Amino acid sequence: MSLNQWTKVAAVEDVPEGEMIGVSAGQVKICLARIKGKYYAMNDICSHFATRLSGGELYPDQLEVECPLHDSRFSLVDGSPHEVPAEECVDVYAVKVEGEEILVGPREPRADSD
């Protein structure tokens, strides 16, 4: 499922520096992270096993999120898996801040798309 419009998902104060939270944009579950003042949004559901990535570990220096079940890591930049057992990318989304609101928008091109 993808987003076709910008949707408010959180307030700036909801996402502390160096942390991530799970939010919803309509029916899309989003893992929202803040690293060095920049916000990243990816699908919150692991492509290997349907669990919430926001319940895992954030690796700010690598810009990666680790799944809490099987330790697959995903890039916050392009959604690509960096550790097995996951082999499929997860969607990443555009993010913008308007005032104190964080909005998530259309899906960014995926690492595995042509």
E strands within 12-81?
19-25, 28-35, 38-43, 57-59, 64-66, 73-75
What would the pLDDT profile of 39-86 be if each residue is shown by its tens digit? 999 999 999 999 999 999 999 999 999 999 999 999 999 999 998 899
Q: pLDDT (tens digit, 9 = 90+) per residue, 89-111?
A: 999 999 999 999 999 998 876 55
- Kindly list the structural domains of the chain, giving each domain's residue range(s) and its CATH number in brackets, ordered by start: 7-107 (2.102.10.10)
